[in-house]
Amino acid sequence: MVASEVRALFAVASRPEVVSLAGGMPNVSALPLDQVGDIVRRVATEQGATALQYGSAQGDPDLRERICEVMALEGIEAAADDVIVTVGSQQALDLVTRVFVDPGDVVLAEAPTYVTAINTFAAFQADIRHVAMDGLGVVPEALEEHLEALAAEGRRAKFFYTVPNFQNPAGVTLTAERRRRVLDICHRHGLLVLEDNPYGLLRYEGEAERALRADAPDNVIYLGSFSKTLSPGFRIGWALAPSAVRAKLVLAAESAMLSHSTFNQMVVGRYLAEHPWREQIKEFNEMYRERRDAMLAALEALMPAGASWTRPEGGFFVWLTLPEGLDSKAMLPRAVSERVAYVPGTGFFADDEGHRNMRLSFCYPAPAEIREGVRRLVGVIENEMSL
Ligand code: PMP
């Protein structure tokens, strides 16, 4: 296990004078805090005998029913019995890896990919192989090539990990046509898909894509989370899995933590029952759209020739490629001394790729700060280019 570069950065990036385009913290200030507080109080006073007791490792049945309603927005038909609540979707990543991966087993993952997924796979000593991505999501031919090469070696991958919507860190979304092809390839090779979808409902333009799980219920483990659509502080995510897999995940969860926070689950369940959460997500989306637009406009106006970046339709992140010859990791200390922070691209690869890349997040700073952050970043880049 090694410390993630993102975590190490948090201390520096949270200094008030630094504009942090680094962290992926959702902006919870838009939540109706009085109403959340009222629900917390009522769960304690009206349901305390249950809410303050141990619960099951699979999670509260009422909350699992609500989770099925949330997933229906992306075309998923699911039974609450096939859902397991987890401590954020991060715990689901851990449990799935724990259940499937023995040291040396191959895991396929997009390149770049979510840093803490890499760290989880690495903690279980997976052999992580990266599958190329472009602006339309993972490249199906690249996936097929990996599977054929593995078959030629007499090996199989345990699963293919993908973040199909507004990917962290690349910001790109897998197109409908590619979704079909990826599912077809995985079906033909008997490969399980691990679909991680914390950002799917945070869409600022365009039409929602169907979840991979919606069209391949037997072949996909789907991970969801309330961290971005409600709050990460409750630490409530979930996995939806074929029943045999789900049963193993529940056993793994029992040994990891015995029971969930019953209290947090009941608060979130009641929030979903009483609060117009779909409207709340629309409000979040308006706020994030403004921030995304501020970042894209600033990049467009200020970035020097030779730099390029993705244009996400939702989520939190833009993936920037620096002009040739620049190294985002080496440049970071200079950027921080100019009071702007980002995450160097190398953290999002298991194989030290990504030196010319960086992840910029627009979720937390206000639009004016984002513009100022980009202005400072451009100053640093231009200075590097002139050296
Ligand atoms: N997957 C991805 C792609 C993420 O970006 C995150 C949060 N940064 C997670 C999983 C974990 O989120 P949580 O545990 O808060 O649900």
Ligand 1 atom, smallest distance to 87 CA:
14
Contact 26, 232 (CB under 8 A): yes
Compute, in angstroms, the gap from residue 181 CA to the centroid of ligand 1: 25
Q: How many CA atoms are closer than 13 Å to the CA of 195, on its beta-carbon side?
A: 31
Contact 95, 120 (CB under 8 A): no
Q: Please tell me the predicted confidence (pLDDT) of residue 15.
A: 84
- Measured CA to CA, the distance from residue 286 to residue 202 in angstroms comes to 9
Prediction ipTM score: 0.99
Compute, in angstroms, the gap from residue 114 CA to the centroid of ligand 1: 8
Query: pLDDT digits over 223-247, tens only?
Result: 999 999 999 999 999 999 999 999 9
Confidence tier at 4 by pLDDT (50, 70, 90):
low
Which amino acid makes up residue 302?
L
Alpha helices in the chain (DSSP H): 5-13, 33-51, 61-72, 88-100, 115-123, 140-152, 176-188, 212-215, 243-257, 262-274, 277-302, 328-337, 367-385
**Does pTM surpass 0.90?**
yes
Q: Please tell me the predicted confidence (pLDDT) of residue 8.
A: 66
Confidence tier at 5 by pLDDT (50, 70, 90):
low
Query: pLDDT digits over 77-118, tens only?
Result: 999 999 999 999 999 999 999 999 999 999 999 999 999 999
Query: pLDDT digits over 367-383, tens only?
Result: 999 999 999 999 999 99
- Atom 13 (ligand 1) nearest CA: 88
Query: pLDDT digits over 316-366, tens only?
Result: 999 999 999 999 999 999 999 999 999 999 999 999 999 999 999 999 999
- Measured CA to CA, the distance from residue 193 to residue 182 in angstroms comes to 9
Compute, in angstroms, the gap from residue 95 CA to the centroid of ligand 1: 14
CB neighbourhood size of 304 (10 A) = 11
Query: pLDDT digits over 255-312, tens only?
Result: 999 999 999 999 999 999 999 999 999 999 999 999 999 999 999 999 999 999 999 9
Give the pairing of strands 220-225 and 236-240: antiparallel
For the residues 129-150, what does the mean pLDDT come to? 97
Close Cβ partners of 314 (under 8 Å, ≥ 6 residues apart): 165, 166, 173, 199, 200, 202, 203, 204, 205, 285, 288
* Region class of 92: left (phi > 0), else alpha (psi between -120 and 50), else beta: alpha
Gyration radius (Cα) of the chain, Å = 21
CB neighbourhood size of 369 (10 A) = 17
DSSP 322: P
- Mutation probe of ligand 1 site: the residue of 27, 116, 161 with most atoms within 8 A of C-beta: 116
Compute, in angstroms, the gap from residue 148 CA to the centroid of ligand 1: 30
For the residues 60-64, what does the mean pLDDT come to? 97
Q: Please tell me the predicted confidence (pLDDT) of residue 195.
A: 98
Q: Please tell me the predicted confidence (pLDDT) of residue 12.
A: 73
Site residues for ligand 1, CB cut-off 6 Å: 24, 88-90, 114, 163, 168, 196, 198, 225, 227, 232, 237
- Atom 5 (ligand 1) nearest CA: 168
- Mutation probe of ligand 1 site: the residue of 133, 225, 363 with most atoms within 8 A of C-beta: 225
Compute, in angstroms, the gap from residue 279 CA to the centroid of ligand 1: 22
Q: Please tell me the predicted confidence (pLDDT) of residue 87.
A: 97
| Crossing angle between the packed helical segments 140-152 and 176-188, to the nearest 10 degrees | 10
Structure tokens at 290: 């403004």
Contact 123, 1 (CB under 8 A): yes
Sheet-wide strand order for 308-309:
308-309, 317-321, 357-361, 343-344
For the residues 164-188, what does the mean pLDDT come to? 98
Q: Please tell me the predicted confidence (pLDDT) of residue 79.
A: 96
Confidence tier at 30 by pLDDT (50, 70, 90):
confident
Q: Please tell me the predicted confidence (pLDDT) of residue 387.
A: 83
Compute, in angstroms, the gap from residue 209 CA to the centroid of ligand 1: 19
- Measured CA to CA, the distance from residue 167 to residue 315 in angstroms comes to 8
Compute, in angstroms, the gap from residue 41 CA to the centroid of ligand 1: 28
Compute, in angstroms, the gap from residue 225 CA to the centroid of ligand 1: 7
CA distance to 30, 317, 342, per residue, from 311 (Å): 24, 9, 17
Ligand 1 atom, smallest distance to 24 CA:
8
CB neighbourhood size of 302 (10 A) = 16
Q: Give the mean pLDDT of the chain.
A: 95
